[in-house]
Chains A and B, each alone.
Chain A
Amino acid sequence: MSKKTLIPIGPYHPLQEEPELFKLWCDGEIVRDIKWETGYNHRGIEKLSESKTYDQVFFLVERICGICSTSHPFAFANAVEEIAGIEVTDRAKYIRTIIGELERIHSHLLWVGLAGHFLGYNTVFMWAWKYREPLLDLFEMITGNRNSYAMFKVGGVRRDIEAEKIPVIRKEMAAVRKKIDLLTGAVMDDPVIHARTKGVGILTRQDVLDYAAVGPTARASGVAIDIRKDDPYAAYPLVNWKVITAEAGDVFAKAEVRLLEMYESAYIIEQCLDGLEKTSEEDITVKVKEIPEGAGTGRAEAPRGEVFHFVVSDGSNSPARHKIRAPSYVNIATFKKSCIGQTIADATISLAAVDPCYCCTERMAAAWDIRSGQKVLNANELIELSLKRTAEIRKTGAGHE
């Protein structure tokens, strides 16, 4: 085996805004192996959540991700409402869906801009982010915040969308369609973009199934998984829309899926606005007395894929256990398939193509001695221990037959 150069991407690198480390072992320009290290941004949110009341946890999980800041409250609400057996009103469902889909549009626009930036196409970056701005203004009008909207609570939403705001949203949806048309045209018709993204970072259908990838990453490889259809929640079963898929599995297909999904989101929002007009105002929340003992799972389709929350309640006013899995946790693992064998230039855009979010994904594993309270093992030592044990089992043949 020839000597390979280590090209580090991170912990501080202009490719991605978050601290993370990709180690690319390269042979000239060709990436031969990839390893990634996260852990620069661990915040202990799951543990923190156990010390907050159910109302407070919404504000906490909203801050897991800055971009898809409503998907985590969405999944958490689904989980808690499953424990308590709460059915929220139709109006609350519509409002939740509108917030979720507006967020999808702004998140995808943000990705399109960043993808352009990663390719050195800064004009697309600036344009996409300019087009994203009116959506943030909409958020400010509806929720009072441009980001981290604080709209969700157990049993409904915190703010209503009043009748006079509906035409404003409708107008903006019509406007955003035109802007997406323009961006789609700029991306789909540019021969240089085709040359840079087609056939790059391919994930086959089998790779997606093997690595259990989710969201647009999976849908671009022809796997039509979408929590909104597979496990319907909020107003998604009440409106008409379709799951966008592409077959190629390359970076171009991922861009295509995201661009077309924005049209679907605009369509969903318009139908939800119709729904709002049919339901009576102020009917946005049901009264919740207490959360009974039990366990519930909540899933939501974030712009990046499935968000999964598992909540155990012991009947008190805060979760006894709260487990979160963000979409990037599974999507990042696909880099093993999409980057190896590519050039560095292709690998960087393949890394960006799953729209990874590292701070959502941070995990820590450690073993503690209960009696003394001392940390005895960290993650690496645990892995080594596990490998050693596996080797021992293999040697002795124990565990087989």
Chain B
Amino acid sequence: MAVNIFYFFIFPGLLFMAVAGGLLSWFDRKITARVQFRQGPPLLQPFYDFFKLLLVKETILPRHGSPVVFMLAPLLAVFGATMAGLFILLPLFNISTGFRGDLLVIFYLLTLPSFSYILGSVASGNPLAAVGSSREIKLVISYELTFLLIIAAVIMKSGQHFDLDTVIAMQRSGTPFIGSVSGVLLFIAAVFCIQAKLGLVPFDMPEAETELSSGIYIEYSGPPYAMIKLAKYIMLFILPALVVALLMNGMGQGAGILWAVLKILGVVLLLTLIRNTSPRVKIRQASGFFFIWMNLIVVIAIVLIAFGL
């Protein structure tokens, strides 16, 4: 029991993920700044942001709406992200082997943050938040099918193994999945899914600063907003980690750890470059993009897998 509490709160749980996510968030912001001819923030800026919100800023509750749901939603987001992160990182770090079927549990847990943002924004009673949450709902419906298909394709490729540990072990004994045509297609779809899950441009329409002035997060301030930031840091770490585990043969020992860090940084760099070289699309365009194009390439990948490519 004690060891489980340690796993959840310290390593590889909340604390570790928050620190790693915060550092990745700095990396993302620094790269963004350099692309835009700016200097960029200091290394600890994401943590300054977090602690300022947590300790200094006051919480303002919306007068209309449900304060309980509004306050609990960010905690639910952090909880969902941390749990999903645990099931991803425990097998990735070779701490435990997980259990049969944990890939599906990860899939469900990863939807919790988006789900709680929707709950929280609807509970705030703000019209801009309502538009934002309706966009978030549409966005979730669009990308989740693609995301599920990607996981299904990985399960097929691993020979019907439903647990992350075996998927990683198979790649380590053979070749990484990304080393095949189907793997590359899955990687492309996965990167766009992550982009949407993280709410980065071009899929940031639920918050759309210049349209809805932060949309779903508009009423959040102080500690609840700090929790949302925390959930975002964690997601920024665990989603690239999941891709590394699913497609890029996870993490080895010794120098392999450095190699895994580089792989995660590479995925984050890709996300950052995408978000800095495109404008925000409309929700209808995003739905079309996932429903038609992303699903298509994942289905092609599945067909290729059936032929052993």
Which residues of A line the B interface, CB within 8 A?
Answer: 5-8, 13-15, 26, 28-29, 116-127, 130, 190, 192-193, 195-196, 343-346, 348
Residues A123 and B212 in contact, CB atoms below 8 Å apart: no
Question: In the bound complex, how far is the Cα of B130 from the Cα of A5, in angstroms?
Answer: 10
Q: Which residues of B contact A116 (CB under 8 A)?
A: 279
Residues A190 and B278 in contact, CB atoms below 8 Å apart: yes
Q: For the complex, is B204 an interface residue (Cβ under 8 Å from A)? A: yes
Q: Which residues of A contact B135 (CB under 8 A)?
A: 29
Interface secondary structure of A, over-half rule: helix
Q: For the complex, is B245 an interface residue (Cβ under 8 Å from A)? A: no
- Among the listed stretches B8-16, B35-43, B251-259, B262-270, which one makes contact with chain A, having 4 or more residues with CB under 8 Å of it? B35-43
Residues A192 and B282 in contact, CB atoms below 8 Å apart: no
Quick one: closest A residue to B276, CB to CB? A123
Nearest CB of chain A from residue B301's CB, rounded to whole Å = 23
Q: Which residues of A contact B66 (CB under 8 A)?
A: none
Q: Which residues of B contact A130 (CB under 8 A)?
A: 37
Interface size bucket, B side? 20 to 34
Q: For the complex, is B277 an interface residue (Cβ under 8 Å from A)? A: yes
Q: Which residues of B contact A192 (CB under 8 A)?
A: 202, 278-279, 281
Q: For the complex, is B208 an interface residue (Cβ under 8 Å from A)? A: yes
Residues B279 and A345 in contact, CB atoms below 8 Å apart: no
Residues B208 and A345 in contact, CB atoms below 8 Å apart: yes
Question: In the bound complex, how far is the Cα of B125 from the Cα of A5, in angstroms?
Answer: 12
Residues A345 and B37 in contact, CB atoms below 8 Å apart: no
Q: For the complex, is B131 an interface residue (Cβ under 8 Å from A)? A: yes
Question: How many residue pairs bridge A and B at CB < 8 Å?
Answer: 84
Question: In the bound complex, how far is the Cα of B135 from the Cα of A346, in angstroms?
Answer: 14
Nearest CB of chain B from residue A162's CB, rounded to whole Å = 32
Residues B280 and A119 in contact, CB atoms below 8 Å apart: yes
Q: Which of B189-203 contact A (CB under 8 A)?
A: 201-202
**Are A7 and B209 also in contact (CB < 8 A) when A123-B35, A130-B37 are?**
no
- Checking A26, A28, A120 against B202 with a beta-carbon cut-off of 8 angstroms, the contacting residue is A120
Which residues of B line the A interface, CB within 8 A?
Answer: 32, 35-38, 127-128, 130-131, 134-135, 201-202, 204-205, 208-213, 276-285
Shortest Cβ-Cβ A-B pairs, 6 listed: A120-B280, A126-B36, A119-B279, A121-B279, A348-B211, A118-B210
Nearest CB of chain A from residue B248's CB, rounded to whole Å = 27
**Are A344 and B279 also in contact (CB < 8 A) when A29-B131, A120-B204, A126-B36 are?**
no
Nearest CB of chain A from residue B28's CB, rounded to whole Å = 13
Q: Which residues of A contact B282 (CB under 8 A)?
A: 196, 343, 345-346
- Checking B210, B277, B283, B284 against A348 with a beta-carbon cut-off of 8 angstroms, the contacting residue is B210
Nearest CB of chain B from residue A190's CB, rounded to whole Å = 7
Residues A7 and B276 in contact, CB atoms below 8 Å apart: no
Question: In the bound complex, how far is the Cα of B210 from the Cα of A6, in angstroms?
Answer: 17
- Checking A15, A29, A126, A190 against B283 with a beta-carbon cut-off of 8 angstroms, the contacting residue is A29
Quick one: closest B residue to A187, CB to CB? B279
Residues A345 and B205 in contact, CB atoms below 8 Å apart: yes
- Checking A119, A123, A343 against B277 with a beta-carbon cut-off of 8 angstroms, the contacting residue is A123
Question: In the bound complex, how far is the Cα of B211 from the Cα of A14, in angstroms?
Answer: 8
Q: Which residues of B contact A346 (CB under 8 A)?
A: 282
Residues A15 and B210 in contact, CB atoms below 8 Å apart: yes
Question: In the bound complex, how far is the Cα of B115 from the Cα of A247, in angstroms?
Answer: 45
Residues A14 and B278 in contact, CB atoms below 8 Å apart: no
- Checking B37, B127, B204 against A127 with a beta-carbon cut-off of 8 angstroms, the contacting residue is B37
Residues A344 and B131 in contact, CB atoms below 8 Å apart: yes
Question: In the bound complex, how far is the Cα of B210 from the Cα of A196, in angstroms?
Answer: 14
- Checking B36, B284, B285 against A122 with a beta-carbon cut-off of 8 angstroms, the contacting residue is B36
Nearest CB of chain B from residue A115's CB, rounded to whole Å = 9
Q: Which residues of A contact B211 (CB under 8 A)?
A: 15, 344-345, 348
- Checking A120, A123, A343 against B210 with a beta-carbon cut-off of 8 angstroms, the contacting residue is A120
Residues B279 and A7 in contact, CB atoms below 8 Å apart: no
Provide 8 A-B residue pairs closer than 8 Å at the C-beta atoms, listed in order of the A residue.
Answer: A15-B211, A120-B210, A122-B32, A190-B279, A192-B202, A192-B281, A196-B279, A343-B284
Quick one: closest B residue to A196, CB to CB? B279
Residues B278 and A121 in contact, CB atoms below 8 Å apart: yes
Question: In the bound complex, how far is the Cα of B127 from the Cα of A127, in angstroms?
Answer: 33
- Checking A5, A13, A193 against B279 with a beta-carbon cut-off of 8 angstroms, the contacting residue is A193
Nearest CB of chain B from residue A14's CB, rounded to whole Å = 5
Q: Which residues of B contact A14 (CB under 8 A)?
A: 209-210, 213
Residues A345 and B283 in contact, CB atoms below 8 Å apart: yes
Residues A120 and B277 in contact, CB atoms below 8 Å apart: no
Q: Which residues of B contact A118 (CB under 8 A)?
A: 210
Nearest CB of chain A from residue B7's CB, rounded to whole Å = 38
Question: In the bound complex, how far is the Cα of B66 from the Cα of A80, in angstroms?
Answer: 62
Inter-chain pairs besides A7-B131, A195-B281, 9 sampled, C-beta below 8 Å: A5-B130, A14-B210, A15-B213, A28-B134, A117-B210, A120-B209, A126-B38, A192-B202, A345-B283
Question: In the bound complex, how far is the Cα of B38 from the Cα of A127, in angstroms?
Answer: 10
Question: In the bound complex, how far is the Cα of B124 from the Cα of A173, in angstroms?
Answer: 52
Residues A122 and B276 in contact, CB atoms below 8 Å apart: yes
**Are A7 and B205 also in contact (CB < 8 A) when A123-B35, A126-B37, A348-B210 are?**
no
Nearest CB of chain A from residue B57's CB, rounded to whole Å = 18
Question: In the bound complex, how far is the Cα of B272 from the Cα of A123, in angstroms?
Answer: 12
Residues A5 and B213 in contact, CB atoms below 8 Å apart: no
Question: In the bound complex, how far is the Cα of B201 from the Cα of A366, in angstroms?
Answer: 47
Quick one: closest B residue to A343, CB to CB? B282
Q: Which residues of A contact B283 (CB under 8 A)?
A: 29, 345
Q: Which residues of B contact A5 (CB under 8 A)?
A: 127, 130-131
Q: Which residues of A contact B285 (CB under 8 A)?
A: 195-196
Quick one: closest B residue to A200, CB to CB? B282
Nearest CB of chain A from residue B302's CB, rounded to whole Å = 27
Q: Which residues of A contact B284 (CB under 8 A)?
A: 343
**Are A123 and B202 also in contact (CB < 8 A) when A195-B281, A348-B210 are?**
no
Residues A196 and B213 in contact, CB atoms below 8 Å apart: no
Question: In the bound complex, how far is the Cα of B32 from the Cα of A127, in angstroms?
Answer: 12
Which of B130, B134, B213 has the most C-beta atoms of chain A within 10 angstroms of its own C-beta? B213
Quick one: closest B residue to A13, CB to CB? B213
Q: Which residues of A contact B205 (CB under 8 A)?
A: 345
Question: In the bound complex, how far is the Cα of B208 from the Cα of A130, in angstroms?
Answer: 24
- Checking B32, B128, B201, B213 against A120 with a beta-carbon cut-off of 8 angstroms, the contacting residue is B201
**Are A120 and B131 also in contact (CB < 8 A) when A126-B38, A345-B283, A346-B282 are?**
no
Question: In the bound complex, how far is the Cα of B209 from the Cα of A122, in angstroms?
Answer: 11
Q: Which residues of B contact A7 (CB under 8 A)?
A: 127-128, 131
